[in-house]
Amino acid sequence: MEGELDPLSELRSLSEALRAHAEWHQACGTHALPAETRSSLAEQPPEAIPPVPMPAPPAAPMPAVASAPRAMPVEAPARAAAPVAIPLDPAERQHRLALLAEQVKGCTKCSLHESRTQTVFARGNGSSGLCFVGEGPGADEDAQGFPFVGAAGQLLDRMIAAMGIARDDVYVCNIVKCRPPQNRTPEPDEMSACMPYLTEQLALVEPQVIVALGKTALQGLFGSVESITRVRGRWRLYQGRIAVMPTFHPAYLLRNPAGKREVWADLQLVLKHLGRSVPGKGA
């Protein structure tokens, strides 16, 4: 995490956040936020949400070819995830994530290592409680070594800013850590080779909420092939304990800007689940 901001930088970052918020809403065609009632979770007071069972030991989910969802959508994920074991303090978490990133750097488990410039592990704050999971690095990410730094990443940044959250105060990672050639979708064998890294990454990060960006993220996390259009906006649980909100991938939004409205509705549910106010809706 970064240190304290001086007042001028704070003002600058506030005005950037405001501008990003305005741009995002302009693109969504919304100024005030739509009164969404799609998810019963959003309407539930936190006390109504049942306690979560203890987590199953982390198993690496395998991307499957089956089309039936294995993980059922949940109406009421736990507001706070049960800890895996003893919760890590931020410094220890950062240290262990750095060790894992080093391990990933040397990975040759699938053929994607042959064409990568470098591995792309994560960016942001592993202790923020909010994690975005995408598909895999593209050309910009492969060149720079960080996820979501290209055009889709800039849109993701605007989405995060519109949530009233600083860009680097969320954790961002991908299903696969190496760029698939020509930015193609990762193959199931590449996903299953890489998933143990994400499983461990998420066990260290212990996010309160994961936002699954697009179909591949969903497939990696749940091992099921589902239409993102059908399942977005509906809570489900990862490993029985972490609330996951599936939504459209920002790259899809670049091609289909009309989908921003739905994504914004999904992100509002995330904010509510995190107990944060929705910017622009009044405190």
Residues binding ligand URA (CB under 6 A): 134-138, 141, 147-148, 150, 152-153, 174, 251
Smallest gap, in angstroms, from Cβ of residue 140 to ligand URA? 7
Q: Which helix (H) or strand (E) holds 192?
A: helix 188-205
Nearer to ligand URA, 84 or 122 (CB): 122
Smallest gap, in angstroms, from Cβ of residue 19 to ligand URA? 23
Smallest gap, in angstroms, from Cβ of residue 179 to ligand URA? 9
Residues 6+ apart with CB under 8 A from 80: 208
Smallest gap, in angstroms, from Cβ of residue 153 to ligand URA? 6
Q: Identify the bridge partners of residue 238 per DSSP, sorted by sequence position.
A: 242
Nearer to ligand URA, 1 or 254 (CB): 254
Nearer to ligand URA, 36 or 169 (CB): 169
Nearer to ligand URA, 148 or 171 (CB): 148
Place of tokens 């910017």: 279
Nearer to ligand URA, 233 or 250 (CB): 250
Nearer to ligand URA, 5 or 254 (CB): 254
Nearer to ligand URA, 88 or 195 (CB): 195
Nearer to ligand URA, 172 or 203 (CB): 172
Residue 47, judged by CB atoms within 10 A of its CB (0-12, 13-18, 19+), counts as exposed
Smallest gap, in angstroms, from Cβ of residue 170 to ligand URA? 14
Smallest gap, in angstroms, from Cβ of residue 189 to ligand URA? 18
Residues 6+ apart with CB under 8 A from 14: none
> Minimal CB distance to ligand URA: which residue?
134
Smallest gap, in angstroms, from Cβ of residue 211 to ligand URA? 12
Exposure of 174 in the CB half-sphere (CA atoms within 13 A): 29
Overall residue count recorded for the chain in this entry? 283
- DSSP at 232: T
Would you say 198 and 61 are in contact if contact means Cβ atoms under 8 Å apart? no
The whole-angstrom distance between residue 109's C-alpha and the CA centroid of its chain comes to: 24
Place of tokens 């009632």: 37
Burial 178-208 (b: 16+ CB within 10 A, else e): bbbeeeebbebebbbbbbebbbbbbbbbbbb
Task: Rounding to the nearest 10 degrees, give the CA dihedral for residues 32, 270, 134, 203.
Answer: 160
Smallest gap, in angstroms, from Cβ of residue 174 to ligand URA? 5
- CA angle (46 as vertex; 40, 49 as ends), nearest 5: 65
